Structure formats: structure tokens, C-alpha cells
Structure 1
Amino acid sequence: MKHLNKLFAAALLFAGLTTQAQDSNNPWAVSFGANAVDTKVSAVGNDSPKWIQLGNARENWNFIPSVSYLTVSRYVGDGFSFGLTGSVNKIDKWVERDRTTEYTDVVSNPGDLAYYAFDATIKYSFMEMIGTKWFDPSLNIGGGYNFFGDASAGTVNGGVGLTFWFTEQVGLQLQSTYKHSFDDTRVADLDVPTHIQHMAGLTFKFGGKDTDGDGIYDKDDACPEVAGLPEFKGCPDTDKDGIQDSEDACPEEAGSKELNGCPDNDGDGIINSEDACPDDKGTKMMNGCPDADGDGVADKDDNCPTVAGAKDNAGCPWPDTDGDGVADKDDKCPTVAGTVANNGCPEVSDDAIKKLNDYAKTILFNSGKSSFQKQTYPVLQAIVAILKEYPTAKFSIEGHTDSDGAEEMNQKLSASRADAVKAYLIENGISADRLSATGFGEKYPIDSNKTAKGKANNRRVEVKLVK
């Protein structure tokens, strides 16, 4: 008995280390505790209740104050389990019925018979049917082989049980089993009487595998090697945003389902990792950054965030010094108001051309030469002033003569006089690439060469706009 107690203690330790709720995940159970044997049920003429007779327990039950039974069982499905039980006891209370005294019970000691029993049991649990997790009634049937001292015989068994689960892991088991013997002549130490065996003890259930220790067994765990949550079938949700990691584009940062689990601090619909301005609400066009002036340049890059400007000028408007609507960068005349059509430069008016030619007609050269008479210089300065008003316009200077003298000489003289005017204009600030000079000699008279006045009109310089 001493060694048997050690065996039961070892079983207790094993069960304590491996216990989990018995079901399809945890098919194994170990139960142990104390048992009591009552032989009254088969006493001849016994007309008292033949089941659990608690009132006569002290007088009729055979009991030893130690761990005296061990059951190992396995769950096989649909509420059924199969178990093997070994139990020991000492029979020092043998109940007989004394007919001579109105069938009173007579309890005697048959000689402290050693009791051993080995039973196989099929048990059905009603716990799933009634839908509780702590109250577990059951029925069982089976058979066994029992020893009463030197007598031994098989029995057919049937019983009821009730287990109270303190936790998911540990329960208190109560069970009573009726053992019907077919070798019941009720002679102590010679045969085995029909009897009832009561058991009370602890039960521990185990056998399920939970690799990641998250309380979800591997067979039901979609992520068996990573601790997770029941609502995600054992898969983790690291950032606790309600989206399991396998479906979370940002598993370590809490986010929203609409953005696949990624955060959007500023609420602009662009996740932080793709948002150039994660703390300032912006637009997709600006990669999540705001653009207050709507000029297509994000405020963080805009040197003029409240005034619409140009992308290539850091979001600021290009200056227009002359206010003609053409930005200085595109204005070929940035300090002189002009027209868009003429790239910001003023258009040369017909009136300006008329003034140029009115001045040009008064240019006087020394006779037969291309040098200017002294009174001509103010006229030339007036022409320079007008040309400077149109800094990009191009002009041709044309020289003409009367018909006096040889035609070849007149041609050369008209060309040299046109060149002289051109040279003066260049020397006084007019760009050379804006001017051309041509001599036409006596080819294009504008008056008669037969009178002195007509010849004077034909000796002229004309200024024409080159378009």
C-alpha cells in the first residue's frame, strides 16, 4: 500500500503538469482518489434501496483513508470516452440479512479481505448536451474483474457519475458503479458478491498540443507557432487594431480596416508610410501634403504658400517688373511694358515709324560724302531715342540719291550714307543685330529729278520696320 501511494503521487504530479480540458483536443484524462465498497446491495432479502445508501455509509462501506483508485481514460468523440480503472480496498464490513430477526442487516468482518478491481468503462458525458462548462453528469457501462481475498470473478458494470470542473483544467469527480457478479453465493473468501463501488477524487485532463501557448490547440490554430487570439483562430494581431497580422499591411502600427491596417495620422486617406506630410491633412495629388494656394506646390516646398505661383519658382509668382502681363523670365523687355504677342515688348506703331522717317528725311550729309552736317546730330539722337523704346524691334536703314552723277557712284554713295547712319546708331546703344543698312542709289525716286526741290526730296534716308 505504501508503494501504491507513491505511484498515485507520481500520477498526480504528472497530471498537474499536463492538464488541460478533455475534449477532441485533449483526449486523455487521469483520475484518482478514494473508493468505498458496499456489499449490502446483494444481501439476501435486502429490500432497502439498492443504490447509493449514504445513511449506512459508516456501518456498511469498506473504506481506506488513502488514494485507492486510478483511472486513465481517452476521449473517443461525441461525448464518449473509454477508460481503465485500477482500485484497491480492504473488506472488513460484510453485510448479511438475518431472517430470524425480521431481516435486519448483520455486518461482520470476513477477515479483512484484500480487495482489488480492474475495470474497463465506456462513459458518456452530458456536458456538451446541456451546454455547461462546469457541470458534467455522465453514465457508464462496462465490465471488470474483482478480487475478494482468495475469490475472484468478473462483473458487468453500470453506473452514474458527476464531475464539477473547478477550472478548465481540474475537476472533482464523484462516481457510483453497480457491479453485478455471476459468482454470488455470498460466501466470504470463496466467491465475489454483487456490490456497489463509490469513488470520489480529482480528475485532470490533458493531451492536446498548443505549441505557441495561446490557449488554442494546434489543430484549430491557423498560426500554431505564433501566439494569437481566439477571434483570429490563433493568429496574432501585434498592433491590436482588430486586423490580424497576416492581413495587416502595417502589422506593428495600429490602423484602420479601410487602409488595410495602416495608420493615417492626419485623416487624409493616405497612409503614413506613403504620406509626405503624415501630420498635416493634404491631397493625393500632393502626396498627402496641403497646398493652401492651389498652385500645385505643396506648402512645405512653397516659398509663397498663400499666393499661387509657379512650380519652377518654388511656388511663388514670377515678377513682372513692367506690369505688362508677361513675366520677367519670359519678357524680352522686362522694364518696358509691351504685349504678350510681342514677348513683352512694345509693338512698333505706325506713328512711331512715321516719326522715324520724318526725322530721317532731315538727316543732312556733306555734299558728295557720307559725313553728317553738324545740325543733323540732334536728329540722329531723336532716332536713337525712338529705337530704344522698342528694344527688340529690327529696322533696315535705306539710303537713296538723286540722279545727278554716274549711277554707280550714286549706288556707292547711298550705301555708305546708310552705313554711316547704322554705325552712329550702334555707337549710341542700338544693338547691331537689330539693324541692317542698304543703299539703293537713284533707283527709287519719290519726286522729280528735274527740279532742285525734287532732287532734294530724292536725296534721303528711310527707316523701315523689319517684320
Structure 2
Amino acid sequence: MRKFFFVVTVFLLSNIFAQVESNRNRKWQIGFGTGVVKFSDEDASFIGDKNMIQIPRLNLTIPIGEQLSLDGAMSFNSFGVGFIDNSVKYFSLDGSVRYNFNQLSEDFVPYVFAGGSLVDSERKMTPTFNVGAGLTYWITNSLGLNTQLYYKHSLESFESMRSHIQITGSLIYSFDIGNLFSGRATSAIGGACYFNQH
């Protein structure tokens, strides 16, 4: 199983770096938000908590095609602010491939996704297989609101985690990665020309 996740991780990373150059004119997205994890009553007695809150949750989405994108996220345990303290810890690293139905509407973009997570609990870090759906509502050209519903399946062979649901909500900011690089290049060229003239 460890070899499988290693191969999947290498594959995803290689695709990210292979596609950066060809997708510089596309929009990347970063998000900041929160999440809620829900276990069944039976599994909650094993895990130690039924509903857990994650603050913050950070994610980065990179387009790799017209309707496909890669998404990576980190969900941290809550920082302990009174009424949202968790009885046990929950930290996860998530990776998924999205299929975006962006042809349906300019403002509302629904999508489905599949991927995996590494979930760190009270016992040890455990892999899960994920499927789910999400929706982004674009308030402006650059700012949007996003919500997602995960089903994280934990194999019975793993004794440290149980299958569960995660619901997330985030504020999304989109940006053109190509402009960042072209801006630097323009400044460098402009500076060189200035000095060459004197």
C-alpha cells in the first residue's frame, strides 16, 4: 500500500510540473477555509469524536486541461478556541483530480473528483480513497466561494481510521501564473535595457 501511494504521489507531482509551462495562461486557484468531519455513531466510539472541525484548511488547484484540474489540500486540526475544540486530532493531506462542468455556467462551476488522503489521527497516519463533488460560485473574476463534499473510504485492513464524510467551505482566489513570470521577465528586460542605454 505504501508503494502504491508513493507511485500515485510521484505521478501527480510529475504531471503538475510537466503541465506548468503549457498552462501558464490558465487560472490557478488558492483557497482558505474550514472543514467538518463526520463519523457514524459506531465509528465515533472508536475514533473518539463524532464531529470534528478543521481550521484552517488550505488548498491549491492547478488546471491541466480544458475541464480537468489537480487539487491539493491540507486540513489542520482546530486551534482550540473553546466551543470548537476537538476531542481528538485530525490532520489530512488530500490530493484529487477534478472534472469541472465549467460549460454549464459562468458563475457556478460544479465538479466531481476522485483521489486519496493521508489522515493523521490519534493513532497513526492512514491512507483513504476519496470521491466527492463540489461547487464554486464566482463572486468576481478573481474571488469565489467553494464548498465540497468528500467521502473518505478507509480499508478495513487499516485499524487506525474509519470511513467518514468531510464537508469543506473556502474563499477562493484565482490568479494567472503566467502573469507572475512574465512580469518578472519584463522587469528584468526593462532594467537591462535601461543600463545598456547609459
TM range (shorter): 0.5 to 0.7
- Residue equivalent to 1:85: 73
Detail structure 1 runs of 4+ shifted over 6 Å in the superposition.
Answer: none
* Structure of higher RCO (CA pairs closer than 8 Å, 6+ residues apart): 2
Deviations 1:73-131 (A, max 9, x none): 210012110121111125xxxxxxxxxxxxxxxxxxxx822111011110111022x1x
Aligned equivalent of 1:113: 88
What letter corresponds to residue 75 of structure 2 in structure 1? Answer: S
Asked if the contact 1:153–1:183 (Cα under 8 Å) also holds between the matched residues in 2, the reply is no
Q: 2:128 aligns with which of 155, 165, 175?
A: 155
Contact 2:130 2:151 in 1 (8 A): yes
Residue of 63, 73, 78 corresponding to 2:53: 63
| 2:60 equivalent in structure 1 | 72
8 A contact 1:38–1:197 mirrored in 2:
yes
Match of 2:116 in 1: 143
**Quick one: structure 1 residues 164 and 25, their matched pair in 2 at CA, closer, same or farther if it must change by over 3 Å?**
same
Change in CA separation of 1:133 and 1:191 when aligned onto 2, cut-off 3 Å = same
**Structure 2: distance between partners of 1:195 and 1:184:** 16
Q: Which residue of 2 aligns with 1:192?
A: 161
Give matches, 1:43-62, under 5 Å: 43=43, 60-62=50-52
Match of 1:176 in 2: 149
Q: Deviations over 1:205-238 (max 9, x none)?
A: 1124459xxxxxxxxxxxxxxxxxxxxxxxxxxx
Counterpart-to-counterpart distance in 2, 1:193 and 1:120: 19
Could you give the per-residue CA deviations for residues 264-285 of structure 1, whole angstroms, max 9, x where no partner exists?
xxxxxxxxxxxxxxxxxxxxxx
- The alpha carbon displacement at 1:134 in A equals 0.5
The normalised TM-score by structure 2 is: 0.66
- Supply the distance in 2 between the matched residues of 1:42 and 1:73 (Cα, whole angstroms): 34
**Rounded Cα–Cα distance in structure 1 between residues aligned with 2:101 and 2:132:** 14
Between the aligned partners of 2:51 and 2:177, the Cα distance in structure 1 is: 38
Alignment coverage as a number of residue pairs: 147
Aligned to 1:113, what secondary structure does the other structure show? coil
Question: For residues 313-324 of structure 1, what are the structure 2 equivalents within 5 Å?
Answer: none
What is the SS of the residue equivalent to 1:127? Answer: coil
| Per-residue deviation, 1:178 | 0.5
Question: How far off its partner does 1:60 sit?
Answer: 4.4
Shift of 1:204: 1.0
State the Cα RMSD in Å. Answer: 2.7
- The aligned residue for residue 19 of structure 2 is none
Q: CA 1:89 to 1:42, structure 2 compared with 1: closer, same or farther past 3 Å?
A: farther
TM-score normalised by structure 1 residue count: 0.29
Q: Is the 8 A contact 1:42 1:193 kept in 2?
A: no
Change (3 A) 1:208 1:191: closer
AA aligned to 1:68 is: P
Once the two structures are superposed, residues 14-34 of structure 1 have per-residue CA deviations (whole angstroms, 9 ceiling, x without a partner) of xxxxxxxxx872342111101
Distance 2:94 2:101 in 1: 22
Alpha-carbon offset, residue 191 of structure 1? 0.9
Structure with greater Cα Rg: 1
CA contact under 8 A between 2:38 and 2:165: conserved in structure 1? yes
Q: 5+ residue gaps in structure 1?
A: 1-22, 45-58, 91-110, 212-467
| Contact 1:184-1:194 within 8 A present in 2 as well | no
What secondary structure, in the 3-state scheme, does the structure 1 residue paired with 2:145 have? Answer: strand
Q: Which residue of 2 aligns with 1:126?
A: 101
Distance change (3 Å), C-alpha of 1:147 and 1:209: closer
